[in-house]
Amino acid sequence: MALMFLLAVYFLLPVYFLIVAATKPQGELATTNGLAFSHFNLFENLRILFTRSDGIFGRWALNTVVYAVLGAAVGTLISALCGYALAKFRFRGREFLFSVVLGGVLVPTTALALPLFLLFSATGIVNTYLAVFLPSIVSPFGVYLARIFANAAVPQELIESARLDGAGEFRTFFSVSSRLMTPALVTIFLFQFVAIWNNFFLPMVMLQKESLFPITLGLYEWNGQTARAPLLQESVITGSLVSIVPVIIVFILLQRFWRTGLAAGSLK
Amino acid sequence: MTDIAPRAVTSGGRRRPGGGPRAGTVIAFLTPFFLPFVLFYLVPVGYALWQSFRVVRRTGGQYGTSYTTFGGFDQYTQVFQNSEFWNSIGRIGLFGIVQVPVMLFVALIMALLLDTPLLKLKAFFRITAFMPYAVPGVIAAIMWSYLYSPQLSPVVDLFQRIGLHPDFLGPGAVLWSAANVSTWLWTGYNMLIMYSALQSIPQELYEAAKIDGASNWTIAWRIKVPIIAPSIVLTTVFSIIGTLQLYAEPAVLRQISSNISSTFTPNMLAYAVASGNNYQQAAAISVVIAVITFVLSFGFMRLTSKKAGL
């Protein structure tokens, strides 16, 4: 019990520090105790954060939502279709295709980013939304999960009876199978959302235009400038808080999906 | 619902005799994933391989025009002769050998504690541990870098009050400061994978052991841990892959510490080399990192599955 509390303190400490620091005026960051509140300046900090450099932070937030939400949505759909087909349709080369996908799980995304940059610069889509969005929709791990879930959650008899009912395969998938796979689809969506949201290397390699940055890359650039412009420090801190709180809340709300997803993911 | 049979008859001609979907339908399900998979996964991998076998040469002296040509294993020889490469591998090896077991051990202990009926506030502990997973590596590193920085950190303050003067960004400590960020980020995730596996063990197993007089510890180490061994292997493999890919956390710490070079990890080295316009060399480094990842992941899975008889 004591050990668990100690660990809980460890996990909460940086977030607590961030909350405290985000409420302080810039001048008090270094002069007051980092773990105690002083003058409450959160709203002023937020105003500065969102108006700095013509409101670029708001743009970054929007970009992050576009990359992560849209990328995860499209990614979940295509992973689900593929995983479902690999689980439920019998065709030649099925196991081979699945092994290729599994191999894809092991390819380090950082090892992909550099050659992708070269290919994308040859085709002229470097420094566009597509350069980050397109590679993000591919999730071999999503296909792996979708296949496991489809196997476990969609009875073959149900597909057969939908077929007898005269429904086409797509209609069967969208109106019967995908309903049964809903918790799985939410899990795949969340996994991919986090993967895109965490992927820092790809946007860093692909983007030079600040207006296309996700929050992580933007804050990284600002953080690198704090030595020359110390006033940026408060905005980096407030920006970090703004960027993590909504996601943490979503996670806590959706945690029952996570848990089922992880349980299935850990089956071998 | 009563019209199932007649409709089945009318639509019978659309399918193959086996009852499965036609080839066109299968392709329609697979293409939306496999097209981008091939374009953004397989093609770049192939392209990196191809690039890694090429070299830039010049015609004539210093002012000749440059051209790329087949160079065999030249790039790889250069990678293996590069001391910066070995330094980064050594650093990441040391990091992994310490950080991965520590993190997974803590995760395992937490999962076992969460699995005992004695522990209260389970939901709270589970959520606090898992919460860092929602925090991107860059943001986590920024948060921790403020806790490491001598001017701002309340942690450094606390140490100073008891007479200690830790330098989290010093040459000896900075690797472990980075390791701490990884541990903070991923312990809860690994804990949850192990915990989920523990929850799927049928309770009757414990009851039988209790009747035989086994203590809670015996049950934990002799029954629970061996049963969830596959998920421990899985978390280890994920951790090995993650360690070899390390980039964001040291890159952020580099912004405030002069003790992290631009070639601190293999990935940072690859990026630095690519920024210097030597893409062929960067491609070779990326390929070597990927191969090491494959070898270690598969090697570990093989080793453990033989030992545990899984």
Taking 60 as the threshold, does the pLDDT of residue B67 lie above it?
A: yes
pTM, two decimals, is: 0.88
Q: What is the largest CA-CA distance in chain A?
A: 74
Inter-chain CB proximity A34 and B133 less than 8 Å? no
The alpha carbon of residue A129 is apart from the nearest alpha carbon of chain B, in Å, by 15
- Across residues A182-186, what is the average pLDDT? 85
Each residue of A40-72: b (16+ CB within 10 Å) or e? ebeeebbebbbebeeebbebbbebbeebbeebb
Which residue among B37, B184, B271 sits closest to A138, beta carbon to beta carbon?
Answer: B37
Inter-chain CB proximity B143 and A115 less than 8 Å? no
Q: Is B56 on the interface with A (CB under 8 A)?
A: no
Each residue of A225-254: b (16+ CB within 10 Å) or e? ebeeeeebbbbbbbbbbbbbeebbeebeee
Average pLDDT, chain A: 89
Residue B153 has what pLDDT?
A: 79
Residue A96: strand, helix, or coil:
helix
Residue B36 has what pLDDT?
A: 97
- Across residues B177-197, what is the average pLDDT? 93
The alpha carbon of residue A208 is apart from the nearest alpha carbon of chain B, in Å, by 13
Q: What is the ipTM of this complex?
A: 0.90
The alpha carbon of residue A28 is apart from the nearest alpha carbon of chain B, in Å, by 10
C-alpha A147/C-alpha B66 separation (Å) is 49
What's the CA dihedral at B37, B41, B47, B50 to 10 degrees? -110
C-alpha B253/C-alpha A11 separation (Å) is 19
Which residue among B47, B143, B297 sits closest to A118, beta carbon to beta carbon?
Answer: B47
Residue A39 has what pLDDT?
A: 83
- Across residues B49-73, what is the average pLDDT? 83
Taking 60 as the threshold, does the pLDDT of residue B11 lie above it?
A: no
DSSP states along B116-143 = STT-S-HHHHHHHHHGGGGS-HHHHHHH
Q: Are A240 and A157 in contact (CB under 8 A)?
A: no
Chain A 45-74, CB below 8 Å of chain B: which residues? none
For the ranges A226-230, B111-115, B215-219, B300-304, the maximum mean pLDDT occurs at: B111-115
Q: Which tokens go with B41?
A: 């996964």
Taking 80 as the threshold, does the pLDDT of residue B193 lie above it?
A: yes
Inter-chain CB proximity B7 and A165 less than 8 Å? yes
- Across residues B4-29, what is the average pLDDT? 61
Which residue among A34, A135, A165 sits closest to B152, beta carbon to beta carbon?
Answer: A34
A–B interface: beta-carbon pairs under 8 A: 269
DSSP states along B24-90 = HHHHHHHHHHHHHHIIIIIHHHHHHHHHHTEEEEESSSTTSPEEEEE-TTHHHHHHHH-HHHHHHHH
Taking 70 as the threshold, does the pLDDT of residue B16 lie above it?
A: no
Chain B 91-150, CB below 8 Å of chain A: which residues? 106, 109-110, 113, 119-121, 124-140, 142-147
Taking 90 as the threshold, does the pLDDT of residue A51 lie above it?
A: yes
Residue B5 has what pLDDT?
A: 41
Q: Is A228 on the interface with B (CB under 8 A)?
A: no
The alpha carbon of residue A228 is apart from the nearest alpha carbon of chain B, in Å, by 12
Residue B277 has what pLDDT?
A: 84
- Across residues B202-219, what is the average pLDDT? 83
Residue B196: Cβ within 10 Å count: 22
pLDDT (tens digit per residue) in A200-229: 999 999 999 999 999 999 999 999 998 888
Residue A102 has what pLDDT?
A: 86
- Across residues A43-51, what is the average pLDDT? 93
The alpha carbon of residue A12 is apart from the nearest alpha carbon of chain B, in Å, by 7
- Across residues A240-261, what is the average pLDDT? 81
Residue B70 has what pLDDT?
A: 87
Count of residues in chain B: 310
- Across residues B142-159, what is the average pLDDT? 85
- Please, which residues have CB within 8 angstroms of residue B168's CB and are 6 or more apart in sequence? B147, B148, B153, B156, B174, B177
Which residue among B48, B231, B241 sits closest to A106, beta carbon to beta carbon?
Answer: B241
Q: Is A181 on the interface with B (CB under 8 A)?
A: no
- Across residues A22-49, what is the average pLDDT? 86
Residue B307 has what pLDDT?
A: 64
C-alpha A72/C-alpha B51 separation (Å) is 31
Q: How confident is the model at residue B12 (pLDDT cuts 50, 70, 90)?
A: very low
- Across residues B167-180, what is the average pLDDT? 90
Which residue among A89, A165, A219 sits closest to B4, beta carbon to beta carbon?
Answer: A165
Among A79-88, A216-225, B159-168, which stretch is predicted with the lowest mean pLDDT?
Answer: B159-168
Q: Which tokens go with B97?
A: 């050998």
- Across residues A46-60, what is the average pLDDT? 94
Taking 70 as the threshold, does the pLDDT of residue B190 lie above it?
A: yes
Residue B13 has what pLDDT?
A: 42
Residue A177: strand, helix, or coil:
helix
- Across residues B115-121, what is the average pLDDT? 84
The alpha carbon of residue A253 is apart from the nearest alpha carbon of chain B, in Å, by 10
Chain A 127-166, CB below 8 Å of chain B: which residues? 134-135, 137-138, 140, 143, 160-161, 163-166
Taking 80 as the threshold, does the pLDDT of residue B2 lie above it?
A: no
Q: How confident is the model at residue A261 (pLDDT cuts 50, 70, 90)?
A: low
C-alpha B287/C-alpha A57 separation (Å) is 36
Q: By CA distance, what is A1's nearest residue in B?
A: B119
- Across residues A90-109, what is the average pLDDT? 87
Residue A30 has what pLDDT?
A: 78
Taking 90 as the threshold, does the pLDDT of residue A85 lie above it?
A: yes
Residue B105: strand, helix, or coil:
helix
